[in-house]
Amino acid sequence: VAERAQREAEDALQIRNDFLSSISHDLKTPLTVMRGTIQLLQRRLKQGDMSALLDRLKVLEVSINKMQGMIEDILTIAQLKAGQHLDLDIRPLNLFPLITRIVEEQQEITHRHHLHLSTYSRDLPVQGDAIRLDRVITNLLTNAIKYSPDGGSITLDITDEEESNQHWIVMRFQDQGIGIPEADQPFLFRPFYRASNARGHIPGTGVGLASAAQVVREHGGTISLSSQQGQGSCILVRLPVNGKSEERGDV
């Protein structure tokens, strides 16, 4: 028993060290881009050179969004750890324009992956927090890209279904990447947990998927995964069209 306790303590320490080293790297990267881009813009403006300013401002904005997203994820995890509910700003919202924008943004930064979006409708109404759901979809797509380092196609397939008197929007994120070993699958939605075939090979913090899962659940939705190692992964997200049904409670 003492041995087991010690092993768990060592694991926890290892996880904490890995997390701190990953997160400091991940936060400093957009910070470097922001600082560099601002200095580039200052140079241009001093020289009276007004060319290509918009390109640089766009990169600045993307980096700010990226950093904000990471901070949101960390705070989501912190709230989850503290056993608190998230403060959600729930409004009626069409997911379609949000999704198309994210898919386009992600396609722009990779030439190895082909992103495909298929949807049953251009009207995807949910009761949701736009910023949080944006983050969920961004995280799931960036994961699909990140965990298929050899490239390939990534599909986001959107359908709807009726179940337990509810209308659901169903999003399937399918990649052709490294997949998730079966032994890791039950733990993958836990904060800081990283699959054994990713740890040490693919940089990451173990925060994105856990915070995405938390946000989906707090919307009354469900998230699940299916995968075979080496054969890609599929993450399935279901969101209720009419929002969280309080009286049914959490099951």
Partner 1 sequence: MMKEQNTTNQAQAPILVVDDDYHLCQMVKWVLEDEGFEVQMAADGREAVERALLQQPKLILLDMRLPLLDGKGVAKQVHAHYGTRVPIILMSADWHGEEKRRQIEAVAYVRKPFNIDDLLQVVQNTLQRSA
Q: Which residues bind partner 1 (CB under 8 A)?
A: 21-22, 24-25, 28-37, 39-40, 43, 56, 59, 62-63, 66, 109-110, 112, 146, 149-150, 201-203
To the nearest whole angstrom, how small is the minimum distance from the Cβ of residue 38 to partner 1?
Answer: 9
Which tokens is 20 given? Answer: 């701190």
At its nearest, how many Å lie between partner 1 and the CB of residue 146? 7
Taking the C-alpha atoms of residue 67 and residue 138, their distance in angstroms, rounded to an integer, is 13
DSSP letter for 28, please.
H
Looking at the DSSP bridge assignments, the partners of residue 170 are 159, 238
CB of 161 to partner 1, least distance (A): 35
Q: Is 149 or 230 the residue whose CB approaches partner 1 more closely?
A: 149
**Smaller CB distance to partner 1: residue 36 or 181?**
36
CB of 28 or CB of 91, closer to partner 1: 28
Task: Give the shortest CB-222-to-partner 1 separation in angstroms.
Answer: 30
Can you list the alpha helix ranges (DSSP code H) found in 85-129? 95-108
Closest to partner 1 by CB, 109 or 183: 109
Sort strands 113-119 and 152-163 into parallel, antiparallel or unpaired: parallel
CB of 185 to partner 1, least distance (A): 21
Residue among 202, 112, 119 nearest 153 (CA) = 112
Residue nearer to partner 1 on the CB measure, 94 or 107: 107
Question: How much helix, strand and coil, in percent to the nearest 5, is found in the chain?
Answer: 50, 20, 30
- Closest alpha carbon to 167 in 243, 90, 88, 91: 243
CB 176 within 8 A of CB 152: yes
Output 97 or 149, the one with its CB closest to partner 1: 149
Task: Please name the residues in contact with 195: beta carbons below 8 A apart, sequence gap of 6 or more.
Answer: 180, 181, 184, 188
With respect to partner 1, which residue has the nearer C-beta, 78 or 109?
A: 109
Residue 244 C-beta: closest distance to partner 1, Å? 35
CA–CA distance, 35 with 168 (Å, rounded to integer): 43
Joined tokens for residue 24:
């400091």
- Written as six digits, the tokens of 136 are 């969920």
Instruction: State the nearest-atom distance from the C-beta of 149 to partner 1, in Å.
Output: 4
